[in-house]
Amino acid sequence: MKTEVAFVVEGRPEFTSFGEEYQVEGISFSFEGKVLAKVHVIVTHDGQTGHDEILAVARDRIESLLALLHFGRGAPLQLGAVEWQGIEPQSPVRIGLGFVKTQASLIRPIPLPPRNLVIGLDRALVLQLGWYNSGTTALWVIEKIRNYFEVLEVENVVTNGSYGIPATMRWLRNAVSHPVISDPQIKSFLQAHIGTDQIDPNNEKHIQFLESQVECIRKEAQDILARKVAPWW
């Protein structure tokens, strides 16, 4: 059996190219002019598979695409209702359901990513894109630092250590992740910048210092991803 799942896209995001289809992945798009209206996914399943399972498979199939679009646009797609319809056997009835939304606004219109880029992503890169994207949407500076740093940490693992995380970035991440600091290098680093060896999230001076450091970690994470995902926009 085959079911088409359609994710309704809200916010009327525009793209500079459209109509790209990923037939190998069973993914296609509906546009209204340059506005992306729906993302369609065809799921093959047996007769015992429930709606929740079909939906989970469809979400998994577009995970890489959503991660790339978030990275390229600078904001995630805002997904609203979910529709599905049987296509093998064919059903004239289209079922619509509500879906959990993600808050987003279009920052820049881009072309859809090329098919070979979407289907060529490995799991580690999708994970890195997810951490980077989480950093861009995080509201709290400490969460931004932690999320961007995960991109660096995954890179260190997948390269078997040939990529070395800059020391100051590791110190910063450890400083916001541990209530008690024992490493003398981290203590010296913090003393030099905030006059104490411990981050206090209630201290405005400490938060201002962290905010001044976010961009260096974000840029390092972005550079790592740019070496793997050549900008297509």
Let me know whether 97 and 21 are in one domain. Answer: yes
Residues 13 and 112 in one domain: yes
Q: Angle CA(27)–CA(32)–CA(36) in degrees, nearest 5?
A: 45
Q: Which residue, 119, 145, 175, sits at the end of a domain? A: 119
Per-residue pLDDT of the chain (233 residues; tens, 9 = 90+): 888 899 999 888 888 876 666 666 788 888 988 899 999 999 888 878 887 888 888 888 888 889 999 999 888 888 888 887 887 776 654 555 444 333 333 346 788 888 888 888 899 999 999 999 999 999 999 999 999 999 999 999 999 999 999 999 999 999 999 888 999 999 999 999 999 999 999 899 999 999 999 999 999 999 999 999 988 87
Output b/e per residue, 83-116; b: 16+ Cβ within 10 A: bbbeeeeeeeeeeeeebeeeebebeeebebbeee
pTM: 0.77
Domain that holds residue 160: 123-228
**How many domains does one find in the chain?**
2
Q: Please indicate, yes or no, whether residues 148 and 200 belong to a single structural domain of this protein.
A: yes
